[in-house]
């Protein structure tokens, strides 16, 4: 391998950018291995939520979001790439192919990647424009996943489903114990959700936000969710590759929302609980398998934004493999 052919610096940068991907409870359940010609993505089951997410669905969505980050970082550095998603380990392999001038749109999307974050404050009372929503649906579909926008008539049904899922989860002591290991405090180990990112009190919305079982210090605002748009990410099936693709689509959707100044809040409880996931299927007209519920809406730019959540250090998520 000549120095010219060595793609490791670009691949290392891509893996580094992927550290900022969203993940369930900020578990960051991935590890990258950097090879001279490719980047491999591995799931880290030590950081899987074994009680809350025994099937690893949330882990796969999180890894898919990380994969999308790495793809965008390569694109913004002028690399075209090819992705393989094999069965077994690794989850995905990313091959840079040709190098050229990066497209301005790719550079812009990379900027959104740094701005993206989870915001648990209530949304403003101006709804998203229909044109913005069209754009968000298109961004999701580009990653082979669909987005069902919940109609006004369906919001109450969704609220009931979310409430049932939350009740099932909050009454499960083992699950609550697991959540408490990842949530609250200052999170000096680089994982989990710090108290600063959790609402001081759960906002009084029609569709409830996740109840993490403890109050944080975030002023969530006294707004409501009447102007929010709820949506369900869904696809054709329940295979591992489809969950991974859905994670890539979630990230594409999130970045598109960020570009429009909109916020996205994932609500995963109704997916994690089997019978509520089944009820969600009905809401999307039995068109496919639901992967995640999201709240979309305009956020208050003037208010204090939540602080960035921590990340694991590079050496815990990236391994260099000697050629």
Residues that bind ligand FMN (CB under 6 A): 22-26, 58, 61-62, 65, 117-118, 120, 193, 209-210, 265-269, 309
Q: Chain centroid to CA 81: how far?
A: 22
Residues contacting residue 179 through CB under 8 Å, at least 6 positions apart: 25, 52, 212, 213
Q: Nearest distance from residue 65's CB to ligand FMN, in Å?
A: 5
Pairing outcome for strands 262-267 and 318-320: unpaired
Nearer to ligand FMN by C-beta: 8 or 140? 140
| Nearest C-alpha neighbor of 51 from the set 296, 272, 268 | 272
Q: Nearest distance from residue 90's CB to ligand FMN, in Å?
A: 19
N residues, the chain: 323
Pairing outcome for strands 79-84 and 92-99: antiparallel
Q: Nearest distance from residue 310's CB to ligand FMN, in Å?
A: 9
| Nearest C-alpha neighbor of 312 from the set 62, 112, 100 | 62
DSSP letter, residue 144: T
| CA–CA dist 265, 207 (Å, integer) | 12
| CA–CA dist 90, 221 (Å, integer) | 42
Nearer to ligand FMN by C-beta: 23 or 79? 23
| CA–CA dist 216, 272 (Å, integer) | 23
Task: Centre a 10 Å sphere on the Cβ of residue 303 and count the other Cβ atoms it contains.
Answer: 12
Nearer to ligand FMN by C-beta: 22 or 96? 22
Q: Nearest distance from residue 198's CB to ligand FMN, in Å?
A: 8
Which residue has the closest beta carbon to ligand FMN?
A: 22
Nearer to ligand FMN by C-beta: 268 or 298? 268
| Nearest C-alpha neighbor of 61 from the set 109, 28, 20, 86 | 28
Nearer to ligand FMN by C-beta: 6 or 111? 111
Nearer to ligand FMN by C-beta: 251 or 298? 251
Q: Nearest distance from residue 265's CB to ligand FMN, in Å?
A: 6
Nearer to ligand FMN by C-beta: 7 or 205? 205
Q: Nearest distance from residue 88's CB to ligand FMN, in Å?
A: 22
Q: Nearest distance from residue 302's CB to ligand FMN, in Å?
A: 20
């Amino acid at each position: 391998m000549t120095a010219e052919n060595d793609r490791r610096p670009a691949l290392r940068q891509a893996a580094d950018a992927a550290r900022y991907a969203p993940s369930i409870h900020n578990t960051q359940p991935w590890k990258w291995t950097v090879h001279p010609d490719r980047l491999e993505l591995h799931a880290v089951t030590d950081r899987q939520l074994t009680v809350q997410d025994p099937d690893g669905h949330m882990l796969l969505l999180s890894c898919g979001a990380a994969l999308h980050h790495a793809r965008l970082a390569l694109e913004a550095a002028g690399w075209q790439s090819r992705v393989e998603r094999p069965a077994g380990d690794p989850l995905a392999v990313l091959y840079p192919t040709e190098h050229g001038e990066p497209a301005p749109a790719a550079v812009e999307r990379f900027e959104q990647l740094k701005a993206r974050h989870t915001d648990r404050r209530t949304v403003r009372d101006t709804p998203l424009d229909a044109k913005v929503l069209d754009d968000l649906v298109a961004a999701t579909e580009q990653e082979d996943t669909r987005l069902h926008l919940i109609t006004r008539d369906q919001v109450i049904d969704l609220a009931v489903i979310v409430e049932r899922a939350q009740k099932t989860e909050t009454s499960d002591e083992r699950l609550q114990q697991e959540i408490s290991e990842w949530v609250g405090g200052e999170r000096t180990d680089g994982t989990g959700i710090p108290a600063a990112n959790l609402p001081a009190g759960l906002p009084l919305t029609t569709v409830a936000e996740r109840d993490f079982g403890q109050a944080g210090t975030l002023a969530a605002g006294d707004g409501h969710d009447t102007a929010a748009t709820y949506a369900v990410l869904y696809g054709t099936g329940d295979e591992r590759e489809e969950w991974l693709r859905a994670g890539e689509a979630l990230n594409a959707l999130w970045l598109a929302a960020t570009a429009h100044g909109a916020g996205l809040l994932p609500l995963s409880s109704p997916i994690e609980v089997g019978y509520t996931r089944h009820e969600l299927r009905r809401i999307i007209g039995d068109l496919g398998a639901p992967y995640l519920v999201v709240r979309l809406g305009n956020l208050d730019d003037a208010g204090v934004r939540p602080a960035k959540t921590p990340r694991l250090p590079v050496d815990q998520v990236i391994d260099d493999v000697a050629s």
